[in-house]
Amino acid sequence: MIRENLNKVEEKIAKICQKCGRKRSEITLIGVSKTQSIEIIKDALVAGLKDLGENKAHELKEKSELISGDFNWHFIGHLQTNKVKYIISHADYIHSVDSIKLADEINRKAEQIGKTQNVLLEIKTSSEATKHGLQTEKEILELSDYCFRSPNLKLVGLMTMAPYTDNFELIRKCFVRLRQTKEFLYESGFELKELSMGMTNDFEIAIEEGATMLRIGTAIFGERIKA
C-alpha cells in the first residue's frame, strides 16, 4: 500500500510541476511519519522515500535510534527549548524556529556536538489562534539576522501551515504570503532556498506558489489511527 500511495503522490507532483513549468528535482517530499510504526516507516524507505517528518521530539528521538539509512529526518512540530536536547543529534532540519530564545538554544546544543544545524523560520500566515510563528517584518528580520550570525545554525528557508479548510483562496493567500516573505528577506540581504509548505490537502497549490518542501502524511501512510 505504501509503495502504491507513494507512486500516486509522485505522479501528482510531477504532473503539477509540468503544469506550472517547474522541475520535480526542485521539490523535497517529506513523508510525515508521526504515529506510524517502525515497520511502516521502513516500508516507506524501501519504497524510495528519502525524507521523514516528525512533530514530537521524543518520537523523533526514539524512531531515529531504531531506523538508520540514507535519508533525512525533519522536525516539523512546535519546539520548546527544553526539548531541543532530544532532537539536536537526530534532526537534519528543524522547520519550526520561531524565537531568538529557541534559535539560541539550538545553536548552543549544536555547538556542544560540533554540528551545524539546518533551520527554517516558522511564519504565521493565517489568523488561526492554534498556529505558531513569526508575524511582523521586524521580528522576521531580527531572527533571520540572529540565525545568520550564529555559527552553528544554517538558515535555509521558511515554513508555514495553512488552515485546514476547503477555502482554496485562503490557502493560496497563506502560501503567497510565505513566498513574499522569502522575497522580502532576499531584498534585505538574506538569500534562502527552501519554502516548506503544503500538506496532503493543499500541496498542489503549494507547488504552484513555489514550495520546495512538501510535508505529506495521509496521502502516503493513510489515515492515522486516533487514540
192 φ/ψ angles, rounded to the nearest 5 degrees: -115, 150
- 3-class secondary-structure state, position 198: coil
Domain ranges of the chain: 2-221
DSSP string across 112-154 = HTT--EEEEEEB--S--TT---B-SHHHHHHHHHHHHH-TTEE
Q: Which of 76, 84, 72, 35 is nearest to 160 (CA)?
A: 76
Q: Which amino acid is at 178?
A: L
- 3-class secondary-structure state, position 222: coil
pLDDT tens for the 227 residues of the chain, in order: 899 999 999 999 999 999 999 999 999 999 999 999 999 999 999 999 999 999 999 999 999 999 999 999 999 999 999 999 999 999 999 999 999 999 999 999 999 999 999 999 999 998 776 778 999 999 999 999 999 999 999 999 999 999 989 999 999 999 999 999 999 999 999 999 999 999 999 999 999 999 999 999 999 998 765 54
5, 220 in Cβ contact below 8 A? yes
pTM of the model: 0.96
Q: Which amino acid is at 121?
A: L
Residue 178 DSSP class: H
Task: Encode pLDDT of 126-135 as tens digits.
Answer: 877 677 899 9
What does the buried/exposed string (b/e) look like for 165-182 if buried means 16 or more CB atoms within 10 Å of the residue's CB?
eeeeeebbebbebbbebb
Interatomic CA distance for residues 12 and 17, integer angstroms: 9
Grid cell 518542501 — which residue? Answer: 213
C-alpha cell at 208: 504552484
Grid cell 513574499 — which residue? Answer: 180
Task: Quickly name the fold that domain 2-221 has.
Answer: TIM Barrel (3.20.20)
Task: Encode pLDDT of 134-158 as tens digits.
Answer: 999 999 999 999 999 999 999 999 9
